[in-house]
Amino acid sequence: MDFTETDEQRALRAAVADLGGRYGHGYYASQARGGGRLNELWQEAGKLGFIGVNLPERYGGGGAGLYELAIVLEELAAAGCGLLMMVVSPAICGTIIARFGTDEQKQNWLPKIASGSSIMAFGITEPDAGSNSHRLTTTAARDGDTWVLNGRKIYISGVDQAEAVLIVGRTADAKTGKLRPALFAVPTGTPGFSYRPIDMDIVMPEKQFLLFLDDVRLPADALIGDEGAALLQLFAGLNPERVMAAAMAVGSGRFALDKAISYARERTVWDVPIGAHQGLAHPLAQVKIELELARLMMQKAATLYDQGDDVAAGEAANMAKYAAAEASIRTVDQAIQALGGSAMTQEFGLASMLANVRTTRIAPVSREMILNYVAQHSLGLPKSY
């Protein structure tokens, strides 16, 4: 495994950094505080081929992999304008459809997802089923040649931007009667599908929603992939989700660290820059190390996934998400400490970022569930839940 990036990967990183630099945190914060969206950035990233860089070329994508998609999100986040829906639309939904969808489903959805002209959201979490996805109560029942969905979803990102939501429901096995997972592409304009925003206390342009599915009737081809293999398909999308969450966290940490370094070089107290003092320099050096370690695990996870090793990628993706969340939280907190009162101003964009990176410890999967995963699958300890 070689972590020396290719010329193409370095060129992609530089091109995305240039795009992010032209928008920056000022654009992100202005849109977030004004109730706007990052439409201009999303559309330009799509036109440049960044949104769908991981999707097959025959469907309008870049033909690269999750590693390259993670580069895109990391660099945008490092510029202060990370696109949360990249975690969802091309990484989760695009990956699942590309790997398991029919030719017709791929032709219908992938070109739009790759170009950024269409966004697909992802709906798995329910009011009574967060980490325990086995308790999902959203059901899909056959009715002739159609499916009828009923249920509720909560904390679903970007539904107001989406053409459709990839809903995780459960169908009854004809032989056993037991419920098993199934994935459905539900256009947001379908009768019986409705949503309302959740009042959040964090400053982000992407909104969170509560979804209602009341006798939502769908054609047979709304079922993505094989009804009996949905659990495999689901985890094929969740591993990229964890890698992309790590990329967002690492990029956010880099943004905060860059702010702290610039300030520590320029701010002078007692005739020397404050960065000359070990009490400030050493903590910044420490979080730099932690960010780089998290980044390496993220790169390992993405590489394993692109090589088709889903089992090893699952372990690495969970570890990467854990490490990146912890590193980004510590980095932003230390950057705030370095800037002192200046960190509380909108000029630097750090105070609001602390709440945002703190969510990476609980979403898209909590730190505790990752520790459960590692304890069970990596250490071979008895399952605790």
| pLDDT category of residue 359 using cuts at 50, 70 and 90 | very high
β-bridge pairing 146-157 and 208-219? antiparallel
Residue 91: predicted pLDDT: 98
Average pLDDT over residues 206-211: 98
Whether residue 254 is contained in a domain is answered as yes
Residue given tokens 């992609």 in the structure block:
12
In this structure, of 27-41, 42-56, 166-180, 185-199, the range with the lowest mean pLDDT score is 166-180
CATH label of the domain that carries residue 257:
1.20.140.10
Same domain, 252 and 356: yes
CATH label of the domain that carries residue 182:
2.40.110.10
Identify whether 56 is preceded by a cis peptide bond (ω within 30 of 0): no
Residue 173: predicted pLDDT: 64
Residue given tokens 């999707």 in the structure block:
55
CA angle 312, 318, 320 (to 5 degrees): 95
The CA distance from 380 to 315, in Å, is 13
The CA distance from 166 to 262, in Å, is 42
| pLDDT category of residue 165 using cuts at 50, 70 and 90 | very high
Asked if 209 and 159 count as a contact pair (C-beta separation under 8 A), the reply is yes
In this structure, of 172-186, 214-228, 300-314, the range with the lowest mean pLDDT score is 172-186
Same domain, 211 and 163: yes
The CA distance from 340 to 335, in Å, is 9
Same domain, 171 and 92: no
Pick from 336, 259, 333: nearest CA to 290: 333
Same domain, 350 and 249: yes
Dihedral pair phi/psi, residue 212, rounded to 5° = -125, 125
The CA distance from 277 to 274, in Å, is 6
The CA distance from 315 to 373, in Å, is 8
Residue 3: predicted pLDDT: 72
Tens digit of each residue's pLDDT (9 = 90 or more) over 245-267 = 999 999 999 999 999 999 999 99
Same domain, 201 and 239: no
Residue 177: predicted pLDDT: 56
Same domain, 221 and 243: no
Residue 332: predicted pLDDT: 98
Same domain, 191 and 258: no
Q: Which residues contact 311 (CB under 8 A, 6 or more apart)?
A: none
Same domain, 133 and 48: no
Same domain, 213 and 251: no
Q: In DSSP terms, which residues pair with 187 in a beta bridge?
A: 164
Same domain, 245 and 352: yes
| pLDDT category of residue 105 using cuts at 50, 70 and 90 | very high
Same domain, 76 and 160: no
Residue 264 per-residue DSSP state: H
The CA distance from 266 to 273, in Å, is 6
In this structure, of 84-98, 179-193, 216-230, the range with the lowest mean pLDDT score is 216-230
In the predicted structure, residue 114 carries a pLDDT above the cut 70: yes
Whether residue 316 is contained in a domain is answered as yes
Average pLDDT over residues 197-201: 97
Half-sphere exposure in the Cβ direction for 28 (13 Å, CA) = 28
Pick from 21, 49, 18: nearest CA to 117: 49
In the predicted structure, residue 134 carries a pLDDT above the cut 90: no
| pLDDT category of residue 176 using cuts at 50, 70 and 90 | low
Burial class of residue 383 in the structure, from the number of CB atoms within 10 Å of its CB (0-12 exposed, 13-18 middle, 19+ buried): exposed
Residue finishing a domain among 225, 249, 268: 225
Pick from 202, 182, 161: nearest CA to 51: 161
- Residue 1 tokens, joined: 């495994």
| pLDDT category of residue 133 using cuts at 50, 70 and 90 | confident
In the predicted structure, residue 181 carries a pLDDT above the cut 90: no
The span from the first CA to the last CA of the chain, in angstroms, equals 35
Whether residue 84 is contained in a domain is answered as yes
The CA distance from 287 to 295, in Å, is 12
Whether residue 307 is contained in a domain is answered as yes
The CA distance from 24 to 105, in Å, is 35
Whether residue 111 is contained in a domain is answered as yes
Threshold 0.95, pTM exceeds: yes
Tens digit of each residue's pLDDT (9 = 90 or more) over 219-231 = 999 999 877 666 7
Residues in the chain: 385
Whether residue 384 is contained in a domain is answered as no
Asked if 294 and 320 count as a contact pair (C-beta separation under 8 A), the reply is yes
Same domain, 59 and 35: yes
Exposure pattern of 221-250 as b/e (b: 16+ CB <10 Å)?
Answer: ebbbbebeebeebbbbbbbbbbbbbbbbbb
The CA distance from 70 to 91, in Å, is 9
Whether residue 301 is contained in a domain is answered as yes
The total of structural domains in the chain comes to: 3
Whether residue 385 is contained in a domain is answered as no
Asked if 117 and 46 count as a contact pair (C-beta separation under 8 A), the reply is yes
Q: How high does pLDDT run on average in the chain?
A: 95
CATH label of the domain that carries residue 13:
1.10.540.10
Residue finishing a domain among 225, 251, 284: 225
Quote the domain boundaries for residue 60.
7-118
Residue finishing a domain among 166, 199, 225: 225
